[in-house]
Structure 1
Amino acid sequence: MSKTPGEIVDEAKTWWTTEIVDIQPGKIGIRGYPIQQLIGNVSFPEMIWLMLRGEVPRADQAKLLEAALVAAVDHGPHAPSIAISRMAVTCGLPINGAMASAINALDDIHGGAGQQCMELLQEIDQALAGSEPSIEVVEAVLASYVERNGKIIPGFGHRWHGTDPRAVRLVAIVREAQARGTVAGRYTTIATLVEEALGRKKGTRIPMNIDGITAAIYLELGFPAPLGRGLFILSRSVGILSHAWEQSQQGGRIKGPMPPSVSYTYAGPAARDLKR
């Protein structure tokens, strides 16, 4: 049975349904707020929160979110995503292409540790079943996690930093926020117990890194784990953009991961002749 014109219009109207934005001629509403009221009155972290969560956060919540976002913006041109953005520019891509290429590399291994750490901290919290965090429960969950996922614990240890200075600062900020009542501090306590448990097992300190402490912060603020990855990508996009722009100003053409003077290792067969 064919649809009436009115039914077709109704179907078209409901094809996309959103609670985020209402756009009409001369009108833009974000979560019910006129855009002109938001402009100049809310910060970018507050806008991120509003878009994702539906409400404007308290100032103290926004400040803690902002600290986490600031801390993860960049980690140098040796970070694969940053290197990709710079190489892409030298291959002729514009800024948007360089950023897209770099962001596409932020997946499970490079970029996913924050979300994975959030899931681990939540698993430990569930195992605690409302009781105070304890090293015994943390060790039991870690043993199960390693059995299922391998020995790498996301959010802990760093190939460059014996102690990640970003994590040290953010832990202090969380504890200050906890003292003010902004957050409960529970996930941060769990994360520090993971650090302790890893040290006891390895016989050497395995410090929390930027992914570990931002995972705790995002959980403290009530963000679900999948958004942890998205928030990291928002943060690191600032570094990606900065490096892409800098490379575009420096110039350079078809720069690979190593200068031509540094050779790669060939491990294939010795030179041979094709005999037919």
Structure 2
Amino acid sequence: MSDVSDWWRTSIIEMEPGKISFRGYPVEELIGNVSFPQMIWLMTRGDLPDENQAALFQAALVAAVDHGPQAPSIAAARMAVTCGLPLNGAMASAVNFLDDVHGGAGEQAVELYHMIDAAGGPEHTAEILARWQEKRTKFIPGFGHRFHKPVDPRSPRLLGLVDEAAAKGVVSGRFAAIGRAIERTLAETKGKAVPMNIDGATAVIYAELGFPAPLARGLFCLSRSVGVISHAWEQMGQGGRNKGPTPPSYRWTYDGPPRVPGRIAPKDNQ
């Protein structure tokens, strides 16, 4: 039996007939007493957040739930439903879209904030941004938005909540300062405002609350799954079959060789 019991090891859940506990908390004591965001924190971190930490965490989760059918992950979920997939298939299709380009900016932003913090803080922002662009990508994760101009409406609200939490001593506020330093540096170097977007703002919260960078992407997946299931369910009600990314009357751009009939001679009938 030791070979079997040692096959998997976990400090997350303990279970036997009639008993379930998560991180040492009996499930019957958690039910009705902790919120879903608190439960996410407990499962991923191993302890329960206080009310102020949970409120800030919840704000980040709420802010990123959806961005409409123009977001590739949401579009994928709706298209999947019209291809016959059930809700779980639509959700899996959507979450698999959340990689480095679409869905990964929050994780990357947390990583960038920590690089600046480790270098000594906001005064080293320009130096670290240059290093990031040299070694990683020219894009600065968490800043600028192709749709929301001049400002992503979610970011100021989230930063305001971080400021309130910092004033209460719930968080340090140093990652919010780093985020704002990046905004200033980008504005100076580009000659125009490049405001923080939702990924940058939620990354501030996750960094302030002590979540490692890779978890930031996982948390974004959890948050965006709310929008995914909502759109998939709505599409089920609307119906539709085999809906692609554009209506059938629209065509893609073809840039191959011209159509030349008769290029392949018919075989002789023998």
Q: TM-score, normalised by structure 2?
A: 0.96
Gaps of 5+ in 2: 266-270
Counterpart of 2:59 in structure 1 is 67
User: What is the one-letter code of the residue matched to 1:241?
Assistant: I
Counterpart of 2:249 in structure 1 is 261
Matches within 5 A, 1:52-91: 52-91=44-83
User: What is the one-letter code of the residue matched to 2:127?
Assistant: A
User: Could you tell me how far apart the structure 2 residues matched to 1:53 and 1:121 are?
Assistant: 20
User: Could you tell me how far apart the structure 2 residues matched to 1:140 and 1:29 are?
Assistant: 47
The answer to whether residue 99 in structure 2 is matched with residue 111 in structure 1 is no
User: Could you tell me how far apart the structure 1 residues matched to 2:221 and 2:212 are?
Assistant: 15
Counterpart of 1:178 in structure 2 is 166
User: Could you tell me how far apart the structure 1 residues matched to 2:7 and 2:141 are?
Assistant: 39
User: Which of 200, 204, 209 is the aligned partner of 2:188?
Assistant: 200
User: Could you tell me how far apart the structure 1 residues matched to 2:204 and 2:65 are?
Assistant: 17
User: Could you tell me how far apart the structure 2 residues matched to 1:183 and 1:227 are?
Assistant: 18
User: Which of 144, 147, 151 is the aligned partner of 1:157?
Assistant: 144
SS of structure 2 residue aligned to 1:29: strand
User: Could you tell me how far apart the structure 1 residues matched to 2:116 and 2:202 are?
Assistant: 17
Counterpart of 1:133 in structure 2 is 122
User: Which of 142, 145, 148 is the aligned partner of 2:129?
Assistant: 142
User: Could you tell me how far apart the structure 1 residues matched to 2:198 and 2:170 are?
Assistant: 20
Share of identical aligned residues, percent? 60
Counterpart of 1:211 in structure 2 is 199
Counterpart of 1:21 in structure 2 is 13
User: What is the one-letter code of the residue matched to 1:105?
Assistant: F
SS of structure 2 residue aligned to 1:76: coil
SS of structure 2 residue aligned to 1:45: helix
| 1:158-205 superposed Cα distances (whole Å, 9 cap, x missing partner) | 000110000011011110111111101100100110011001000000
User: What is the one-letter code of the residue matched to 1:101?
Assistant: S
How much has 1:265 moved relative to structure 2?
A: 0.8
How much has 1:245 moved relative to structure 2?
A: 0.2
Counterpart of 2:263 in structure 1 is 274
How much has 1:274 moved relative to structure 2?
A: 2.6
The answer to whether residue 98 in structure 2 is matched with residue 100 in structure 1 is no
How much has 1:133 moved relative to structure 2?
A: 2.8
User: Could you tell me how far apart the structure 2 residues matched to 1:158 and 1:186 are?
Assistant: 24
How much has 1:275 moved relative to structure 2?
A: 3.2
Counterpart of 1:124 in structure 2 is 116
User: What is the one-letter code of the residue matched to 2:77?
Assistant: S
User: Could you tell me how far apart the structure 1 residues matched to 2:137 and 2:9 are?
Assistant: 41
How much has 1:149 moved relative to structure 2?
A: 1.7
User: What is the one-letter code of the residue matched to 2:186?
Assistant: L
Gaps of 5+ in 1: 1-8
Counterpart of 1:39 in structure 2 is 31
User: What is the one-letter code of the residue matched to 1:206?
Assistant: V
SS of structure 1 residue aligned to 2:183: helix
Aligned length: 263
SS of structure 1 residue aligned to 2:146: coil
User: Could you tell me how far apart the structure 1 residues matched to 2:82 and 2:154 are?
Assistant: 31
Counterpart of 2:268 in structure 1 is none
Counterpart of 1:51 in structure 2 is 43
How much has 1:263 moved relative to structure 2?
A: 1.6
